[in-house]
Amino acid sequence: FFFAKCCSMLYLIGLGLGHPKDLTCRALETLKKCDKVYLEAYTSIMIEASTEDLEAFIGMSVEVADREAVESGSVLEGCKDSNVALLVVGDPLSATTHSDLVVRCHEIGVQCKVIHNTSIMTAVAQCGL
């Protein structure tokens, strides 16, 4: 348990508006530290690219995580002894599901870091409103 608390991490990483090239430099650096990468695929989907495009861009294998995988805790299980990234289209904290993951990490002693990105909420500014 002490090892997990000190040395493992869940990274919630925003993909931006749905193309792998929208990932920030910080996100790409963080992914290099991860043992497992999931793509959350139920609160939103990548419209401009496929999972294969994402894998090719980041140079890593990506497992698609459905609602069951995220909410049941199977994604969190891997965080107990390794670094895990959960990629989310938009900004990770735009959906309450991901805020809940932050709370659940705290409850089980797993560190969690959020790497924000553009979401539809911030993209509205492009309309000139």
Residue 73 is predicted with a pLDDT of: 86
> What pLDDT shows up at residue 1?
35
What token pair was written down for 124?
């509205």
State the 10-residue block means of pLDDT for the chain, 129 residues long: 58 92 96 96 88 97 93 87 94 85 91 91 65
Task: Determine the pLDDT at residue 5.
Answer: 43
CATH fold of the domain at 2-118:
Cobalt-precorrin-4 Transmethylase; domain 1 (3.40.1010)
What tokens were used for 17?
A: 């508006």
Rounded to a whole number, what is the distance in angstroms from the first to the last CA of the chain?
50
Residue 31 near residue 60, CB atoms below 8 Å: yes
Q: For 98-107, b where at least 16 C-beta lie within 10 A, e where not — what string? A: beebeebbee
pTM as predicted: 0.88
Side chain identity, residue 116: H
| Contact predicate 64/38, CB 8 Å | yes
| Contact (CB, 8 A) for 102 and 75 | no
